[in-house]
Amino acid sequence: MALPFVRMPLVFRKLCRKREILQQIGEAIALAFGLLLAADADLLEIVTLSLYVSLSATSIACILGLPLGAILAVTRFPGRGPVLVLINALMGLPPVVVGLIVYLHLSRSGPLGFLGLLYTPTAMIIAQTILIAPIVVALSRQVLEDLHLEYAEQFRSLALSARQVIQALLWDGRFALFTVALAGFGRAVAEVGAVMIVGGNIDHLTRVMTTAITLETSRGNLPLALALGIVLLALAMAVTAAVHGLRAGTAGQADA
Amino acid sequence: MPECAGENGAAGTRASRIEVRALAYDVAEARLIDVPTLTLGPTGTTVVMGPNGAGKSLLLRLMHGLIRPSAGEILVGGEPLSPAQCKAQALVFQKPVLLRRSVAANIDFVLKARGKDRSRCHDLLDRVGLASLADRPARRLSGGEQQRLAITRALATEPDTLFLDEPTASLDPESVQAIEGIVAAAAREGVRIIFVTHDIQQARRLADDVVFLSKGRVVEEALADAFFSGPETDVARAYLSGHLDRLLET
């Protein structure tokens, strides 16, 4: 009989804690909507910078990574296996390590220090590009290799050059490659370690969603941190939905 | 080997004689193709026949240079098969491999890749009755339309020789008729046709001469009339008469 009385305060505390968390989440959602509806200038600045940095990094990674993935998909050369293993391994690059390496190169004493890029959005774009390029290369290689398996004999029959084959694969695989780009964007927009190190989380200059969330959490401003998290989530979902909509709208024209 | 005289009314020819010498193709110590000699003249329509697994598709791929023989050689116009000669050939597969693009874009792709006049696209589609479907996704066409598009794409490269690997398998009679019409028209324009089929009636309609394969070997080659009126080998007789038990015994 004594046990329930002993346990009651613990249960009560847990219930109170749960209620507190729910309250904070409720506050966070309300705050997130409030910030968005009020078109808070600081929030818009952070969102804009986040999109600018991550979309730029995704674009550069795709420009470099998609052709490289296509080349790896259609060519056979000695050492190709280890190259593929390396690229697949680089998909799991820790952001802080990338940030540190970029930092070392861009710092004043580094080989690229003369460019003065440290703690600028450009440095953040460089770091995120390095982070997601292996993802773009590895996933596009897989997508295009599967496509090439289907087309290879027909392309050989048509006596196409390697360049023509790669161009055709990139075009015909464009809808699947959208998803590859999305995977890259998702990784870029969600990472915090690399941009924190090379960007420095400077207000009105290099503060992005993830670094802002980290800052507010460390300050103990959990509702604001959660609100920013909700905005970040909504942002990622909006970009994904936009690409999905674009894909659905055009896929019918080509039968992906 | 009788050289085909183009009984189906071939106009002048662009193609060269194809000669197969001591051709062999092995996979895991199994000899899938063993053709000591075979000569295909520069004109007309040759139908390649034989039971499943006879090596018809392999022979086509070897003559088109898609796969390398284990031994022997293929001569085109007396010269070993070269990339330039392969480029002057086209192959249509049993299952058409169409790009994930519109009907017109599939033709335009080939015209552009080969440096041909891209304004011919509509005309080419019009000739095979696909002009009204030009903007439709190629992979959403019916099976017969897809194969017509694949043949048109192959013809867009202006080949000297057109290989067709069972292009009408699993198609309805209307589609078969349309495809036979396209192939016959191409043959009349001087394209050398090498056509693989299981359909005996189709072979009778199209063939100027017949190459009959069994177990990787050419067991009979003859002018179409001679082959269909009196095949010389048991296996060809069994095949034409539809005696499956005798075919299996041979």
**For range A79-108, the mean pLDDT:** 95
Length of chain A counted residue by residue: 256
Nearest-by-Cβ selection for A154 from B86, B97, B101: B97
Closest chain B residue to A160, measured at CA: B113
Q: Which of A107, A98, A113, A68 is nearest to A188 (CA)?
A: A98
CA distance A200 to A24: 28
Per-residue pLDDT tens over the stretch A134-153? 999 999 999 999 999 999 99
Residue B9 above 50 pLDDT? no
Contact yes or no for B110 and A150 at CB 8 A: no
pLDDT in tens, B31-48: 999 999 999 999 999 999
Provide residues of B within 8 Å CB-CB of chain A.
64, 66, 83, 86-87, 90-91, 93, 97, 99-102, 109-110, 113-114, 137-140, 157
Arithmetic mean of pLDDT, B146-159: 96
Q: Which chain B residues are within 8 Å of A254, Cβ to Cβ?
A: 100-102, 137
Q: What is the dihedral of CA A61, A62, A68, A71, to 10 degrees?
A: 170
Complex ipTM, two decimals? 0.87
* A256·B100 Cβ contact <8 A: yes
Write out chain B residues lying below 8 Å of A171, CB-based.
Answer: 101
Percent of chain A scored above 90 by pLDDT?
A: 65
Chain B residues within an 8 Å CB radius of A252:
137
Instruction: Give me the domains of chain B, ranges plus CATH numbers.
Output: 1-88+161-174+190-250 (3.40.50.300)
Confidence of residue B170 (pLDDT cuts 50, 70, 90): confident
Please answer whether residues B207 and B46 qualify as being in contact, where contact means their C-beta atoms are separated by less than 8 angstroms. yes
Nearest CA in chain A to B137: A254
Assess whether pLDDT exceeds 80 at residue B245: no
* Mean pLDDT calculated for residue range B22-39: 94
CA of B81 vs chain A CAs: smallest distance (Å)? 13
Q: Is A153 on the interface with B (CB under 8 A)?
A: yes
- How far, in Å, CA of A121 to CA of B129, rounded? 57
Average pLDDT score over chain B: 90
Q: Band the pLDDT of B8: cuts 50, 70, 90.
A: very low
Q: State the average pLDDT over residues A21-37.
A: 77
Task: Tell me which chain A residue has its CA closest to the CA of residue B101.
Answer: A254
Hey, are the CB atoms on A255 and B97 less than 8 Å from each other? Answer: no
Residue A160 with chain B: CB contacts under 8 Å = 113
Nearest chain B Cα distance for residue A132, angstroms:
27
Lowest mean pLDDT among A237-246, B5-14, B53-62: B5-14
> How far, in Å, CA of A102 to CA of A100, rounded?
5
How distant is the Cα of B211 from the closest Cα of chain A, in angstroms?
23
Q: What's the average model confidence in pLDDT over A211-231? A: 86
Residue B248 pLDDT greater than 60, yes or no: no
**Residue of chain B minimizing CA distance to A155:** B97
Nearest chain B residue to A159 by CA distance is: B87
Instruction: Name the band, by pLDDT with cuts 50, 70 and 90, for residue A255.
Output: low
Interface test with B, best of A156, A158, A250 (most B CBs within 10 A): A158
Distance from CA of B18 to the nearest CA of A (A): 17
For an interface test with B, which of A146, A154, A253 has the most B Cβ atoms less than 10 Å from its Cβ? Answer: A154
Q: What confidence score (pLDDT) does residue B246 get?
A: 60
Choose between B243 and A68: higher pLDDT. Answer: A68
Q: In three state form, how does the secondary structure of chain B look? A: CCCCCCCCCCCCCCCCCEEEEEEEEEECCEEEEEEEEEEECCCCEEEEECCCCCCHHHHHHHHHCCCCCCEEEEEECCEECCHHHHHCEEEECCCCCCCCCEHHHHHHHHHHHCCCCHHHHHHHHHHCCCHHHCCCEHHHCCHHHHHHHHHHHHHHCCCCEEEEECCCCCCCHHHHHHHHHHHHHHHHCCCEEEEECCCHHHHHHHCCEEEEEECCEEEEEEEHHHHHHCCCCHHHHHHHHCCHHHHHHC
Residue-wise pLDDT tens digits, A12-27: 677 777 777 777 778 7
CATH topology of domain A41-207: MetI-like fold (1.10.3720)
Per the DSSP assignment, residues forming a β-bridge with B223 are B209
pLDDT reported for residue B12: 52
> Per-residue pLDDT for A256 more than 70?
no
Res B11: pLDDT: 47
Task: Give the position of tokens 């993830």.
Answer: A210
Under 8 Å CB pairs connecting chains A and B tally to: 42
Residue with tokens 């552009």: B112
Return the pLDDT at B7.
Answer: 41
Interchain proximity A159–B100, CB inside 8 Å:
no
In angstroms, what separates the C-alpha of B97 from chain A's closest C-alpha? 7
Nearest CA in chain B to A171: B100
> How far apart, in whole angstroms, are the C-alpha atoms of residue A210 and residue A194?
11
Query: Mutating which of B63, B99, B111, B165 best tests the A interface, going by the most A Cβ atoms within 10 A?
Result: B99
Q: Give the start-to-end residue ranges of the domains of chain A.
A: 41-207
With CA atoms as reference, report the closest residue to A96 among A212, A213, A194.
Answer: A194
Measured between beta carbons, which residues in chain A are less than 8 angstroms from residue B93? Answer: 153-154
Residue in B91, B93, B101 closest to A254 by CB? B101
The answer on pLDDT for B55 being more than 90 is yes
* Greater pLDDT, A240 or B144: B144
Per-residue tokens: A207: 């503060």
How far off is chain A from B188, nearest CA to CA, in Å? 23
Lowest mean pLDDT among B7-16, B25-34, B93-102, B121-130: B7-16
- Residue in the structure block whose two tokens are 């084959």: A165
Are A164 and B138 a contacting pair at CB < 8 A?
Answer: no
Q: What are phi and psi of A5, to 5 degrees?
A: -65, -35
The values of phi and psi at residue B209, to 5°, are -145, 160
Q: What is the CA radius of gyration of chain B?
A: 18
- Would the pLDDT of B66 be above 90? yes
